[in-house]
């Protein structure tokens, strides 16, 4: 981040929520939260992010409108391969046109998926967030990818990114490098992670909790497990 940046965060799960908090701490002027689940957008709003429901509006067009056509300064992709297509609204037709490409990507990254009803269903649009990020960022802008993409995925809008002179940084978190600083922030009272914890479950309830989270139920952002809860004797 650079001070004053306009920054959309694609994905408002726990990774996206902490990315929003981090963007503000690094001086971002405006932060936008893009997701399709109301309770996640509400949590983003509580952080003073501006929210964009991709099932109600086209996120790319909205971001361009809000930046007077220039595009945003920097993008954070906190979704990764488990992205979902918009189910309705003005962004849905464009996603529908990519249905065959998305289906091929799903076969590429999740060939052994075994959905059971609405459980264990892989994202139906693996590169949706990646595409939106490249489309919405300004020329010479920056993209940070912290959402997970597996080695099997070979699709990315590289041509559009190259022609916009974008800088793209990505990778798994270097926990050893950043954890001590983050612990110090919490210990000093400069950042409180507790509001992001939406559920606390006991060990016997872990499978049920996984099922609820996998269904992307409203209200599920971060769950902690009480290893002592439910213990007898």
Can you give the CATH number for the domain in which 128 is found? Answer: 3.40.50.720
Do residues 43 and 101 both lie within one domain? yes
* 202 and 173 housed in the same domain: no
Separation CA 230–CA 219 (nearest Å): 23
The verdict on residue 189 lying in a domain is no
Mind listing the pLDDT tens digit for each residue in 110-124?
Answer: 999 999 988 999 999
The mean predicted confidence, pLDDT, of the chain is 94
The whole-number average pLDDT for the span 76-83 is 96
Whether residue 74 is found in the same domain as residue 32:
yes
Dihedral-angle region of residue 140 (phi above 0 means left; psi in -120 to 50 means alpha; beta otherwise): left
pLDDT at position 13 is: 94
Q: Is the domain of 36 the same as that of 97?
A: yes
What pLDDT is stored for residue 219 in this prediction?
87
pLDDT of residue 229: 63
* Angle, helix 59-66 to helix 128-136, in steps of 10 degrees: 20
pLDDT band for position 158 (cuts 50, 70, 90): very high
User: Is 88 contained in some domain?
Assistant: yes
When pLDDT is averaged across residues 8-24 and rounded to a whole number, the result is 97
Average pLDDT for residues 175-204, to the nearest whole number? 94
Residue 191, in any domain of the structure: no
3-state SS, residue 82: helix
CA distance 147 to 60: 19
Same domain, 140 and 220: no
Q: Are the C-beta atoms of 161 and 138 separated by less than 8 Å?
A: no
- For tokens 């999740």, name the residue: 110
Q: Is residue 126 part of a domain?
A: yes
**Sequence-separated (6 or more) residues with CB below 8 Å from residue 178:** none
**Domain span at 201:** 196-232
Residue at 92 is within a domain: yes
How many domains would you assign to the chain? 2
Q: Is the pLDDT of residue 231 over 80?
A: no
Q: Choose among 70, 108, 86: nearest CA to 34.
A: 86
Secondary element (H or E) of residue 44: helix 38-46
In the numeric block, which tokens belong to residue 135?
């489309």
Q: Looking at the structure, do residues 9 and 68 belong to the same domain, yes or no?
A: yes
Residue 38 placed within a domain = yes
CA 67 to CA 183: how far, in whole Å?
A: 35
Q: How confident is the model at residue 208 (pLDDT cuts 50, 70, 90)?
A: very high
Residue 132 shares a structural domain with residue 43: yes
* CA atoms of 32 and 35, how far apart (whole Å): 10
H-run or E-run covering 143: strand 137-145
The answer as to whether 133 is a domain residue is: yes
Question: Is 211 a member of any domain?
Answer: yes
pTM surpassing 0.95?
Answer: no
């Amino acid at each position: 981040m650079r001070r004053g940046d306009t920054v959309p965060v694609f994905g408002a799960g726990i990774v996206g929520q902490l990315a929003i908090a981090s963007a503000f701490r690094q001086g971002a002027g405006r932060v936008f939260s893009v997701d399709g689940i109301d309770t996640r957008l509400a949590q983003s709003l509580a952080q003073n992010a501006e929210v964009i429901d991709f099932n109600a509006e086209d996120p790319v067009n909205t971001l361009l409108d809000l930046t007077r056509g220039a595009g945003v300064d920097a993008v954070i992709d906190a979704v990764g391969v488990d992205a979902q297509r918009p189910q309705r609204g003005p962004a849905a037709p464009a996603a529908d046109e990519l249905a065959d490409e998305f289906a091929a990507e799903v076969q590429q990254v999740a060939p052994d998926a075994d959905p059971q009803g609405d459980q264990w269903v892989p994202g139906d649009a693996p590169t949706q967030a990646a595409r939106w990020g490249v489309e919405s960022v300004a020329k010479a802008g920056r993209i940070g990818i912290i959402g997970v993409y597996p080695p099997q995925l070979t699709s990315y809008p590289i041509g559009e990114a190259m022609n916009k002179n974008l800088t793209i940084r990505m990778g798994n978190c270097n926990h050893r490098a950043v954890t001590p600083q983050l612990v110090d922030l919490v210990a000093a009272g400069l950042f409180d992670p507790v509001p992001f914890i939406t559920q606390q479950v006991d060990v016997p309830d872990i499978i049920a909790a996984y099922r609820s989270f996998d269904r992307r139920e409203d209200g599920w952002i971060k769950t902690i497990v009480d290893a002592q809860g439910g213990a007898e004797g």
